[in-house]
Amino acid sequence: MNKYLNLLLGELSGKMAKDYTLDIARYHRVQASRGFRQATEYVQEQLKKIGVSKAAIERFPADGKTRYWTYEAIIS
CB-hemisphere CA count at 13 Å for 16? 7
Torsion from C-alpha of 26, 13, 55, 64, nearest 10 degrees? -50
On the question of pLDDT at 61 being above 90, the answer is no
Torsion from C-alpha of 9, 11, 14, 19, nearest 10 degrees? 180
CB-hemisphere CA count at 13 Å for 33? 8
Would the pTM count as exceeding 0.85? no
The span from the CA of 52 to the CA of 24, in Å, is 18
The more confident residue out of 6 and 21 is 21
